[in-house]
Amino acid sequence: MDGIRAVRFDHPDAVKLSGLVQAEYVRRYGYDDMTPLRPGHFDPPDGLFLVAYLAGAAVGCGGWRVQEARDEGYALGDAELKRMFVVPEARGRGIARGILRALEDSARDAGRVRMVLETGTPLHEAMGLYVACGYAPTANFGPYRGYSDSRCFAKAL
């Protein structure tokens, strides 16, 4: 891996990878992730978006954004993980783990105390990654509360 760089969510590489992850969701679920996301959601200190590069090509991404306690199941100090993705041809090289570690460190440095995420039952490899990295199942939160194929996870930072 050439490295991981912080970019805005509207950076061309982030846009390209976000489009690929949405296409993956459509392929596996039959619909995309309808969560409204804006570039400002990932602007420090309230978030961060990262892109990983291999041989100069953007091959993976992920971000976190601030969430706070309210009636949707978030807790004070939460950071929500979004758009974790590695292109198929670059998987199995530790790229996702590297992005995840960097995002956790960034969220901790920003004063966040817990990372939360949602994934779905068709994404077995994603659930395996999160469990292997210390995430535990938690109650569904936010817009995912009503979806039977959603699985939410959390990890203290």
H-run or E-run covering 124: helix 124-132
How confident is the model over 61-73, as pLDDT tens digits?
A: 999 999 988 778 8
pTM for the predicted model, two decimal places = 0.94
Where do the domains of the chain lie?
A: 3-156
CATH number for the region 3-156 comes to 3.40.630.30
Q: What is the DSSP string of 79-122?
A: EEEEEEEE-GGGTTSSHHHHHHHHHHHHHHHTT--EEEEEEETT
DSSP assignment letter at 155? E
How confident is the model over 117-131, as pLDDT tens digits?
A: 999 888 999 999 999
d(CA 57, CA 111): 32
**Along the 157 residues of the chain, how does pLDDT read in single tens digits?**
799 999 999 999 999 999 999 999 899 888 888 788 999 999 999 999 999 999 999 999 999 999 988 778 899 999 999 999 999 999 999 999 999 999 999 999 999 999 999 998 889 999 999 999 999 999 999 888 877 889 999 999 9
CA angle 9–113–100, rounded 5-degree value: 45
